[in-house]
Amino acid sequence: MSTLSPGQLPLAPLGAGDLIDRAVRLYRRHLFVLIRTAAPPVIIVAAGWILFSISVRQVFITAETGDLFFYVLLSFLSVAIMLGGYLSILVVMGGATRTLVAHLLRNDAVTAQATYKAVRSRFWGLLVASLIVLGWIFASFLAASSGSQMAAMIFFLGSVAFANIAPWLAIIIGVIGFLVSTAFGLWLFFFIVGRVAYVPQVMLVEGKGVIEAIGRSISLARGNVRRLMAMTLFTTFATFSALTILLFAIGSFGELSGINLRNPAGWPAWYAISVSILGPLSAILLTPVWMLSLSLLYVDERVRHEGYDIELMAARQLGEVPDINVSSPLGTALYTERKKPPPAPRSSGSVLNLS
């Protein structure tokens, strides 16, 4: 199966490898459209990184107190810009999922305009939800770090206990402790953060509010730790691979230009800026894979728990179920905002509306 077209909907839940494969195939088919979709928020992040690299570099070489204060403020501003860019990425993810579901449901074209039109329709709600998700991610990181340190401490105490008796056994315990504590920290992080992985998607596909979307995401995120971790590690590895290639290319050019790569303070401004934008540049190329992976994971969760593939095929063949104001614990195939009916004409008192 080359793409997820309406006539080729999967009838079985997908594993991590299948989800990654589908995301890469969709990425190859809609490469430039997806890059245009992901570029605006990533460009915001790139602008923040450029300002941050310039300000931090100037902090260590400036001699004037006033200039030092200015560059410190500029560094804080650049961090705020980067956070805004990452928030924008979370916001755009919801629109990308809606575009994907519309492609599955009605074979709509995958365009950047469709994604940003969906984002504009729920922008403020998505912004609030993204702030909550970003805070949740930070709290998940703290909890995972604490859990990993506690696990490492247990193995460290065991290693110390065997240090005088059998040094080789203490080394083995230390290595095993490092691996186990790292794996436990990763699992705990993705277990906690996975609860809110589908908030933007639920808001734009199912039309729910912020609080409802959080509850819905928590209910959907059952058993997604392994697949979410696999997709994240794959995307991270691919991003760092692209970044390594770009760093090698620009580093070789810098060496040929006579730049001392071991002395960042002495780098020319053009080289420091070029290095700072390599990360965002690689992110522009690979953020669409992450967006597609999360979108497909959301769809797969609904396939596993709700038979969403059958609902999509039924909606495609028969049309959406009429809205008869019946509450359901499950989401709709694709939420459509209801337009308000036009106001009734005002009556002048005559039955025939004649003066």
Query: Of 9-18, 145-154, 161-170, where does the model show the most confidence?
Result: 145-154
pLDDT class of 140 with cuts at 50, 70, 90: very high
Reference 95, options 62, 76, 119, 130; nearest CA is 119
3-state helix, strand, coil in the chain (%, to 5): 75, 0, 25
Q: How far apart (Å, rounded) are the C-alpha atoms in residues 203 and 193?
A: 18
Task: Report whether pLDDT(142) > 90.
Answer: yes
Q: How far apart (Å, rounded) are the C-alpha atoms in residues 18 and 13?
A: 9
192: number of Cβ within 10 Å: 19
Average pLDDT over residues 98-112: 78
Residue 25 one-letter amino acid: R
Token reading at 212: 């409802």
Average pLDDT over residues 202-208: 84
Average pLDDT over residues 37-61: 81
Task: Name which residue leads in pLDDT, 153 or 13.
Answer: 153
Q: Is 182 helix (H, G, I), strand (E, B) or coil?
A: helix
Token reading at 158: 């065991």
pLDDT of residue 306: 75
Q: Is 70 helix (H, G, I), strand (E, B) or coil?
A: helix
247: number of Cβ within 10 Å: 15
pTM: 0.73
pLDDT of residue 12: 58
pLDDT of residue 345: 53
As a whole-number percent, the residues of the chain with pLDDT over 70 amount to 82
Reference 7, options 105, 76, 144; nearest CA is 105
Q: Which residue has the tokens 């696999």?
A: 230
Please state whether 258 falls in left (phi above 0), alpha (psi between -120 and 50) or beta: left
Task: Name which residue leads in pLDDT, 90 or 199.
Answer: 199
Token reading at 201: 């998607």
CA–chain centroid gap for 303, Å, is: 21
Q: How far apart (Å, rounded) are the C-alpha atoms in residues 196 and 219?
A: 10
Reference 77, options 116, 50, 98; nearest CA is 50
